[in-house]
Amino acid sequence: MEIYSNEYKVKDYDSIYHIVKEGESLCDIADKYKVSVDDLKKINNLSNYKVESGKKLKIK
């Protein structure tokens, strides 16, 4: 496992996760990883656009 500040990549499954920092929005995170907000919502089973700091989101 490689660790980067608030994200990590699990090599076995080639998945990327992001730990939400205080003040971050889904839009901020989507822009950072060049994915859509709707994709983030779908992958993480989110019903709205709110995310709490400390939550682990799957990016890919």
Concatenate the DSSP letters of all residues of 36-48 into one string. -HHHHHHHTT-SS
> For residue 19, what pLDDT is reported?
95
Average pLDDT, the chain: 85
Number of separate domains in the chain: 1
More confident position, 10 or 45: 45
CA-closest candidate to residue 50, choices 59, 39, 37, 60: 37
Residue 41: domain span: 2-58
Beta bridge partners of 15: 10
CATH of the domain at 41: 3.10.350.10
**Residue type (1 letter), 14:** D
Q: How far is it, in rounded angstroms, from Cα 12 to Cα 3?
A: 14
> For residue 12, what pLDDT is reported?
46
| Range 20-41 average pLDDT | 96
